[in-house]
């Protein structure tokens, strides 16, 4: 297997190699389709992960290649993935806004290529379905600026990739991973994991996908209210308690929102938000990620114990 430094160099080279980038995207589409058809841990739009294991969890990246490399280096991610009990979970939003979007998404694609069974790449709202375009969504224009008309073709491949990405992952009895928040419109009538998360068929209904990609936790309501984002809803602690009970998990780990310290907690510490990038237009002081070992008894008592941070002035140490 290649070292992290070799994978990083390969990702950096993709900006000047559009043919290789297109081939890498096609290869990842094939991996994801094969998972959905043949993998024991893939249920349509969801990934079922084992309990009693370890996770590196990375939130929104938005083209911040440098911080992503620092996180992978500090966690010794390659050695972690080679451990049979180690998983790397990305919570979505690989592109848009950042200066190194091609390099960042290429690094994620390469990790999935080399460790397909250990790397979970979830869909974010910036990996959009056509019905739910985010703003700004500058990734297609970045590709066109680099590659001209070929960039349009490459973006079309990426749109296929977006549609193949799972949108939830669940570690049984432990954690629900997603980008935004749990679907709320079906909670009063659903029964069981697959029903509540829309995993009984593929693709999911657009209403479920909208909520999973766009919802946000808040403290000022009990249940739900329209979201100021214009898509999804904001949800309160009663929703979280109901979801945890229905799915039999202890926490929700999600991305989607910037936070000054790189993370925030909601709903009595049961909802953890991770934001794993630095720089404009957010200007958060820290980027955060999570390294959690669910083999530890009562791991869920204080989720902040598992939070790690990156500051702007830290240098990467890639080996």
Among 124, 144, 143, smallest CA distance to 134 is for: 124
CA gap 185, 241 in Å, rounded: 15
Known catalytic residue: 126? yes
CB–CB of 289/56 below 8 Å?
yes
Q: What is the average pLDDT across 185-208?
A: 90
> Out of 62, 126, 256, 267, which one is annotated catalytic?
126
Rg (CA), the chain: 18
pLDDT at position 39, please? 85
The CATH number, out of the four listed (3.40.50.2300, 3.50.50.60, 3.60.21.10, 3.40.50.300), of the domain defined by the range 4-311: 3.60.21.10
DSSP code per residue over 18-50: HHHHHHHHHHHHHHHHHHHHH-TTEETTEEEE-
Neighbour-count burial of 21, counting CB atoms closer than 10 A to its CB (0-12 exposed, 13-18 middle, 19+ buried) = buried
Is residue 84 very low, low, confident or very high in pLDDT (cuts 50, 70, 90)? confident
pLDDT tens digits along 123-173: 999 999 999 999 999 999 999 999 999 999 999 999 999 999 999 999 999
pLDDT in tens, 40-61: 889 999 999 999 999 999 999 9
* Per-residue model confidence (pLDDT) at position 97: 92
Q: What is the rounded average pLDDT of the residues 52-74? A: 97
- CA–chain centroid gap for 269, Å, is 20
Span 265-316, pLDDT tens digits: 999 999 999 999 998 888 898 999 999 999 999 999 999 999 999 987 776 5
The residue ranges of every structural domain in the chain are 4-311
């Amino acid at each position: 297997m290649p070292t992290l430094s070799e994978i990083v160099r390969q990702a950096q080279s993709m900006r000047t190699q559009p043919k290789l980038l297109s081939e890498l995207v096609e290869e990842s589409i094939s991996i994801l389709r094969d998972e959905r058809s043949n993998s024991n841990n893939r249920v349509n739009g969801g990934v079922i992960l084992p309990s009693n294991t370890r996770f590196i969890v990375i939130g929104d990246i938005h083209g911040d290649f440098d911080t992503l490399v620092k996180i992978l280096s500090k966690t010794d991610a390659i050695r972690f993935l080679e451990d049979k009990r180690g998983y790397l979970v990305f919570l979505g939003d690989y592109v848009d806004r950042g200066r190194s979007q091609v390099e960042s998404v290429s690094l994620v694609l390469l990790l999935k290529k080399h460790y397909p069974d250990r790397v979970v790449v979830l869909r974010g709202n910036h990996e959009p379905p056509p019905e739910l375009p985010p703003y700004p969504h500058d990734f297609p224009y970045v590709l066109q600026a680099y590659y001209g008309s070929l960039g349009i073709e490459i973006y079309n491949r990426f749109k296929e990739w977006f549609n193949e990405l799972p949108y939830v992952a669940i570690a049984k009895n432990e954690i629900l991973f997603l980008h935004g928040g749990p679907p709320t419109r079906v909670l009063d009538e659903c029964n069981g994991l697959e029903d509540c998360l829309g995993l009984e068929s593929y693709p999911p209904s657009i209403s479920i996908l909208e909520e999973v990609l766009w919802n946000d936790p808040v403290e000022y309501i009990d249940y739900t209210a329209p979201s100021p984002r214009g898509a999804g809803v904001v949800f309160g602690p009663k929703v979280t308690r109901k979801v945890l009970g229905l799915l039999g998990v202890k926490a929700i780990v999600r991305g989607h929102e910037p936070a000054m310290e790189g993370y925030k907690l909601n709903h009595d510490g049961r909802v953890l938000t991770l934001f794993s990038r630095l720089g404009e237009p957010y200007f958060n002081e820290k980027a955060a990620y999570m390294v959690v070992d669910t083999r530890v008894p009562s791991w869920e008592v204080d989720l902040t114990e598992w939070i790690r941070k990156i500051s702007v002035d830290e240098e990467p140490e890639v080996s």
